[in-house]
Amino acid sequence: MAITIDQIKQLREATAAGMGACKEALNATNGNMDEAVKYLREKGLAVAAKRVDKESKQGIVALAKAADGRSMALAEVNCETDFVAKTEAFVKFVDDAAKVALEGKDIESTLGDDFKMLLTKTGENVKIRRSERYALEGAGVLSGYIHMGGKIGVLVELDTTASGAAVEEAAHMLCLQVAANAPKYVNPADVPQSEIDAELEIKLAAMKEEKEQKGQKMPPEQALVGIKKGMAAKFCTQICLMKQDYVADGDMTVEKYLEGVSRNCGAPVTVKRFCRMQLGA
């Protein structure tokens, strides 16, 4: 049967696929609109396979929150170009992905048809990279934050019986801290000894090389004990949230900041966990 221009336009409006692709799909399905949509979805998978060599470094990290604030989720979806990342279809898909993650469901299986359609619309190698969901169990406070238009997403959970504006603000400020300073752990006790040992090995090798260049000897083993301890403490200061300088007041650490919050709230306020997603990292 002959395919009309109106049919092609109708399929294009429904799928946002190119005119040529719509005509091909209609011809392949004898003008059956539903089958043509299915054809394009399947073709979208083929498009992704052909473009697997293309790197997906762009995209968005999106945040979804439950109405009661007791659960939040982040989802990261990658694409090849910043242009596609800003399109309405891509933004909507990532927002939907975060909402699905909030419900505790698998994104790819839940949004399978939408994902195929997105591949067809964009013609790019789109990847559902990861998601994270936090849900309160008992008392506590959750906060979420999106930085730089979706380049970084953060979740923070505070363990506290306190409530109100002060503790909500503290949770938000810690989101800003995590976004800016990219800690890996909450406290030094959380850092694996193997990671500390690897860092010390690097630092001591650099020290030995510097000493040799200057014709000097390494400190005796007894002195190295204290040097290693100082190196480990400095390393933990850099990668542990509680030991970092507080971004809003460099004269105190995050630990000191939360001690003040605890006094003001009349109850202990501690960080239970946090998540930081940086696009492509």
What is the per-residue pLDDT for 191? Answer: 96
Domain 54-135: state its class.
alpha beta
Residues of the chain with pLDDT under 50: 45, 52-53
Lookup: tokens for 229: 């301890």
CATH annotation of 5-50: 1.10.8.10
What is the per-residue pLDDT for 189? Answer: 95
* Domain edges within the chain: 5-50, 54-135, 192-239
Note whether 21 and 43 are within 8 A (CB): yes
What is the per-residue pLDDT for 54? Answer: 59
The per-residue pLDDT for range 168-219, each reduced to its tens digit, is 999 999 999 999 999 999 999 999 999 999 999 988 988 988 889 999 999 9
Domains 5-50 and 54-135 share a fold: no
What is the per-residue pLDDT for 48? Answer: 53
Note whether 31 and 7 are within 8 A (CB): yes
Q: What residues contact residue 189 under an 8 Å CB cut-off, 6+ apart? A: none
